[in-house]
């Protein structure tokens, strides 16, 4: 239990951490990194961590493969365009969600739940509302995801806050 010495509080500066009882004000907190799904063999990758893997970096995490990087770029372009206009903090939140869920991998399948693709939709077939090529087309998956986030949360920042609290969105 910290010693709450409030005498002379106005005489000596106290940092927030000192007020909480820490000896050093320069406590280094670890940076969290997203848990990226492990990739399997073949064209369809599987994961036990996608679809609610949690984790965040607060920075600008990058996908592992070239195709996943292309998907990320496409997602950024689609999010920035009308009607969404999600740039800056909204893009960062959206990217954090996708990095935690799928790492922008359009063929990843969660082995536990069956969640599929970039948005880790469950079931994946609900993305058919955005296009019949939902299994193979990252653009269709991103289109579905952006509309889902807009309808359910209003903004990616709200969706990311929900994701941080619940481990899914």
Give residue-wise pLDDT tens across range 105-163. 999 999 999 999 999 999 999 999 999 999 999 999 999 999 999 999 999 999 999 99
Q: Which helix (H) or strand (E) holds 99?
A: helix 89-101
pLDDT average, residue stretch 51-78: 73
Residue partners of 48: CB distance under 8 A and separation at least 6: 37, 38, 110, 111, 112
pLDDT average, residue stretch 8-27: 52
User: Which position has the higher pLDDT, 147 or 65?
Assistant: 147
> Are 110 and 48 within 8 A, CB to CB?
yes
Strand ranges in the chain using DSSP code E only, listed in sequence order: 46-47, 109-110
């Amino acid at each position: 239990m910290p010693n709450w010495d409030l005498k002379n509080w106005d005489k000596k500066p106290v940092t927030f951490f000192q007020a909480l009882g820490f000896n050093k004000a320069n406590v280094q907190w670890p940076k969290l990194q997203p848990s990226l799904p492990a990739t399997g063999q073949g064209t369809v990758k599987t994961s036990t961590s996608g679809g609610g893997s949690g984790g965040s970096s607060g920075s600008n995490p990058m996908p592992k493969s070239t195709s996943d990087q292309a998907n990320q770029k496409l997602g950024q372009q689609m999010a920035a365009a009308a009607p969404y206009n999600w740039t800056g903090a909204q893009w960062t939140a959206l990217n954090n969600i996708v990095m935690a869920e799928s790492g922008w991998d359009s063929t990843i399948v969660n082995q536990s739940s069956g969640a599929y693709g970039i948005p880790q939709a469950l079931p994946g077939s609900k993305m058919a509302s955005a296009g019949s090529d939902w299994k193979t087309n990252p653009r269709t998956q991103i289109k579905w995801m952006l509309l889902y986030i807009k309808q359910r949360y209003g903004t990616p920042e709200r969706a990311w806050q929900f994701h941080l609290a619940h481990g899914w969105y």
